[in-house]
Amino acid sequence: MPSAVYLDNNATTAVAPEVLEAMMPYLKDLYGNPSSIHTFGGQVMADVEAAREHLAALLGARPGEIIFTSCGTESDSSAIHSAARCLADRRHVVTTRVEHPAVRNVCRVLHDDLGYRLTEVGVDSQGRLDMDEYRDAVDDDTALVSVMWANNETGVVFPVEECAAIAKARGAIFHTDAVQVVGKLPVNLADSRIDMLSLSGHKLHAPKGVGALYVRRGTPFVPFVRGGHQESNRRGGTEAVPNLVALGRAAQLADQRIGDENTRVKALRDRLEKGLLATCPDARVNGGQTDRLPNTSNVSFEFVEGEAILLLLDQQGICASSGSACTTGSLEPSHVLRAMGVPFTAAHGSIRFSLSVYTTDQDIDRTLKAMPEIITRLREISPFGRGKPKTGAAKRSTK
Amino acid sequence: MWDYSDRVKDHFLHPRNVGEIEHPDAEAEVGNITCGDALKLMLKLDDQERIVDAKFQTFGCASAIASSSALTEMIKGMTLEEASKLTNDDIADFLEGLPEAKMHCSVMGMEALQKAIADYRGETFELEDSGRIVCRCFGVTDKLIEKVIRDHNLRTVEEVTHYSKAGGGCRGCHEDIQAILDRISGTQTPVAAAPSAKTRSPLSNLKKISRIQEVIEREIRPALRSDGGDIELVDVDRDTVYVALRGNCSNCRVSQFTLKGVVEQKLREQVADTITVEQVT
């Protein structure tokens, strides 16, 4: 079989060879603890700090505003808990209906277990945030607003700067989950009202197991992981030195490659999308009419089920993902697509292709060749396919 | 992802007996497109009521397609009487096992077969047509839930979901499923009856809103969602509840009826009998 076509970069990315090279010494010879007094350990502290500077540079932030964490989820949890603790007299949280579970479920814990009011702002059929609803939601009791910068499933980009300004006007802390944005879109926190921002290493060609939380200077913060004095007393635990160095190197690379991401990669994505719509009838792009990440395409193929599509793609060495029920681990399709009002018929057959700077022309060619055959094949098995009544089978339900 | 046996993979990649039979002697459709899987089964019988041909069409994941293919292979050559004894475990065994969370695919195959037999014999299909709908997200009756619990000696709500899909959506019926589990295992726990609206003391605004939200989430959304619609609580102003209909519901002519008839009634019963419901866009 020819090498895999990897179009699942919103799930995770390949570790860049340069990144692997940069982190290797710290897995071998340079194993010291940065907190040690002896030179052998202490010398790696300088490398950790250099990594922090590289990451800060990518974000337009000060190094002191970066807290290294173990992953994006830890960053999100830290931000949400900190805001709730620091503005303890406020009892309201605002987020969106399409957040990643790392934010959504933590906000729901505040609501369910701690009695916070929770507003989850909706989106329209293109996945755009309902700004009127958002404006009405934020009030003087709002402790925290957490709005993702870009959606992991559709790639739809939210106007976080505008959201941040509205939140700040009410005295709330504004957090954004930017896990899908960092490395794909330019970020400049120096000119921003954003208080906290989460990112994850493995989405930008660093390994799994490292993330970061940006906390704007002056923003009140209490640690989530308590312990030692590491990260300026803001996150306990011995630094995962190889991972932090890797994230720093990945940030440098992202800075160099962001142009490629927004030109060549975007053109590949557009070609893939156009080709799929041209060759597969009854297909639609979810969120296709609005501002999106350059690498993401979420396409629904009606009358077929996503897991079956993924497995047939997998047969040909093509990796993608789906918002179908069978692949979400529940029996209901993606909450993001449902929030957009994508009909269930289309949500079950949704496929997300997400590219990276390593995606090639040949990858797109192979995918465009494989997909029409797969869709035709599954529609031939389906009782609902083209030319057949669209609402065929009897409901297993109420009489 | 490939947590499937070689047999499942084989029947998914090379499904047998796909298609339709012209003038079938028995046929059945179970599941529907909003639930994520559906199976249409057609049978041709000889005059001894022996199944001489079986065809299927399936919308669903790999294990749903494989279960349908396996079913048709298994029943060809059987008499209807023999086929009526086929269980979902037989289908799963034929496939060298299914992942636990996919057992409902084999149950769907068994259901289709039993429904087709009932259709041929002019009988009612017990599992679907009688009984009470417990899971409104997936339209699962107490009869089917009881059957899978007894057949497979299930102990938890999660297991019931794996076998029947019941409870896999909004989770609003989990208590109900637990009550059925308790009843069958003989360890019945008394279910606290919801206090009636009349005996309830006046609610604080916050409490009222959260209770309205709860009733909408639990009682109303699942039913609408199963038809591709949705409802959102927009605002509460004293006793007026503002809701917006989404998805299929938003252009639905009967939605006004749905609103007044169902939402208002539910909220009056369970929150306060002075509530009125208004639709906003």
* A337-375 pLDDT per residue, tens: 999 998 877 888 999 999 999 999 999 999 999 999 999
Comparing A391 with B18, the larger pLDDT belongs to: B18
Tokens standing for B258? 């749905």
Give yes or no: residues B84 and B180 share one domain. no
CB within 8 Å: A392 and B247: no
Are the C-beta atoms of B140 and B134 separated by less than 8 Å? yes
- In whole numbers, what is the pLDDT of chain A averaged over residues? 93
**DSSP code per residue over A115-130:** --EEEEE-B-TT--B-
What is the per-residue pLDDT for B23? 94
Same fold, A5-11+258-381 and A17-254: no
Q: Which of A325, A380, A397 sits opposite B36 (nearest CB)?
A: A325
Nearest CA-CA distance, residue A278 and chain B, Å: 23
Which CATH architecture does the domain made up of A5-11+258-381 adopt? Alpha-Beta Complex (3.90)
CB within 8 Å: A343 and B29: no
Q: Which of A381, A391, A399 to mutate: most B Cβ within 10 Å?
A: A381
CB within 8 Å: B18 and A380: yes
Total of domains in chain B: 3
CB within 8 Å: A308 and B32: no
- Answer whether residue B144 is part of any domain: yes
Q: Could you list the residue range(s) of the whole structural domain that residue B103 is in?
A: 6-125
- Answer whether residue B217 is part of any domain: yes
Closest to A24 (Cα-Cα) out of A243, A254, A256: A243
CATH number at residue B88: 3.90.1010.10
What is the per-residue pLDDT for B228? 73
pLDDT band at A390, cuts 50/70/90? very low
Please report residues of A whose CB lies closer than 8 A to that of B36.
Answer: 305, 324-326, 331, 333, 344, 348
Tokens standing for B71? 């079913």
Residue of A nearest to B37 (CA): A305
Summarised one tens digit per residue, pLDDT across range B116-142 is 999 999 888 877 767 888 988 788 889
Comparing B262 with A102, the larger pLDDT belongs to: A102
- Answer whether residue B136 is part of any domain: yes
What is the per-residue pLDDT for B125? 81
CB within 8 Å: B40 and A393: yes
Rounded Cα–Cα distance for residues B15 and B12 (Å):
5
What is the per-residue pLDDT for B252? 58
Rounded Cα–Cα distance for residues B150 and B143 (Å):
11
DSSP, collapsed to helix, strand or coil, labels residue B188 as coil
pLDDT band at A395, cuts 50/70/90? very low
Nearest CA-CA distance, residue A161 and chain B, Å: 25
- C-alpha dihedral (A117, A334, B137, B18), degrees to nearest 10: 180
What is the per-residue pLDDT for B169? 80
Rounded Cα–Cα distance for residues B91 and A342 (Å):
34
Summarised one tens digit per residue, pLDDT across range A40-56 is 998 999 999 999 999 99
CATH number at residue B143: 1.10.10.1100
Q: Which of A307, A312, A345 sits opposite B33 (nearest CB)?
A: A345
Answer whether residue A304 shows pLDDT above 80: yes
What is the per-residue pLDDT for B52? 97
Answer whether residue A261 shows pLDDT above 90: yes
Closest to B161 (Cα-Cα) out of B174, B150, B142: B174
What is the per-residue pLDDT for B258? 60
Give yes or no: residues B10 and B92 share one domain. yes
CB within 8 Å: A381 and B58: yes
Are the C-beta atoms of A317 and A367 separated by less than 8 Å? no
CB within 8 Å: B33 and A303: yes
What is the CATH number that goes with domain A17-254?
3.40.640.10
CB within 8 Å: B36 and A344: yes
- Answer whether residue B86 is part of any domain: yes
Comparing B87 with A1, the larger pLDDT belongs to: B87
Q: Which of B2, B36, B230 sits opposite A333 (nearest CB)?
A: B36
CB within 8 Å: A397 and B32: yes
Rounded Cα–Cα distance for residues A214 and B158 (Å):
39
- Answer whether residue B191 is part of any domain: no
Q: Which of A310, A325, A383 sits opposite B57 (nearest CB)?
A: A383
Summarised one tens digit per residue, pLDDT across range B242-256 is 887 777 666 555 555
Residue of B nearest to A384 (CA): B59
Interface predicted TM-score (ipTM) of this complex, two decimals:
0.84
What is the per-residue pLDDT for B130? 72
Spell out the domain ranges in chain A. 5-11+258-381, 17-254
Rounded Cα–Cα distance for residues A383 and B135 (Å):
24
Tell me the residue type at A49. Answer: E
- Answer whether residue B10 is part of any domain: yes
pLDDT band at A329, cuts 50/70/90? low
Give yes or no: residues B234 and B251 share one domain. yes
Tokens standing for A336? 């993001």
Please report residues of B whose CB lies closer than 8 A to that of A348.
Answer: 33, 36
Q: Which of A314, A332, A393 sits opposite B31 (nearest CB)?
A: A393
Mean pLDDT for each 10-residue chunk of chain B (281 residues)?
Answer: 86 96 94 82 95 95 95 96 94 93 91 93 79 84 90 91 86 90 73 43 65 80 74 77 73 58 80 81 67
Rounded Cα–Cα distance for residues A58 and A220 (Å):
23
pLDDT band at A109, cuts 50/70/90? very high
Give yes or no: residues B135 and B118 share one domain. no
- Does the annotation mark A86 as catalytic? no
Final residue belonging to a domain, choices B92, B125, B158: B125
- C-alpha dihedral (B213, B214, B215, B217), degrees to nearest 10: 80
Please report residues of B whose CB lies closer than 8 A to that of A398.
Answer: 133, 139
Residue of A nearest to B68 (CA): A381
What is the per-residue pLDDT for A330? 66
Nearest CA-CA distance, residue B127 and chain A, Å: 10
Nearest CA-CA distance, residue A308 and chain B, Å: 5
Rounded Cα–Cα distance for residues A298 and A352 (Å):
4
- Answer whether residue B107 is part of any domain: yes
Q: Between helices A101-114 and A72-86, what is the axis angle to 10°?
A: 30
What are the phi and psi torsion angles at B51 (to 5°)? -80, 110
Rounded Cα–Cα distance for residues A144 and A167 (Å):
8
pTM: 0.80
